[in-house]
Structure 1
Amino acid sequence: MINVLEHYGALRAARKLLTPLLRPLMGVPGTVGLALIGSLQSTDVGAGMTKGLADSDELTDKEKNT
């Protein structure tokens, strides 16, 4: 399902919408917000997304530790 949404740009749009909200509140970009939402589910989607973000250097060291 996530691959289909990513193909149509839904994840990119969610990142752009979440960044202005999460950056001042929590100090993290919108991409991390998607991983946070994924981690609230009963699956390991959040951990997988966070690992992918860390491996692709989309997170700073400070954001990884937050």
Structure 2
Amino acid sequence: MPVRQAIRALPEQVRHPAPEQDGTLRQRTQVAELTGMTDPTGYLDGTRIIVRRERPHPDAQ
């Protein structure tokens, strides 16, 4: 399954709050793992696919 299709197929319960470097949770940001949901062709063995979603900040383009 292509990556974009796998992201859309993720159920809400597998998305988790994203931590900051200091361990606090980042507001309105979530992470999830796609490993095993996408075609691993072209990736090194053992590669994990982690995705993040967040609202863009006001100055984002």
TM-score bucket (shorter structure): under 0.3
Q: Which structure's residues are more often strand, by fraction?
A: 2
Q: Which structure's residues are more often helix, by fraction?
A: 1
Length-normalised TM-score, structure 2: 0.27
- For the pair shown, the structure with the greater C-alpha radius of gyration is 2
Q: Which structure's relative contact order is higher, taking Cα pairs within 8 Å and 6+ residues apart?
A: 2
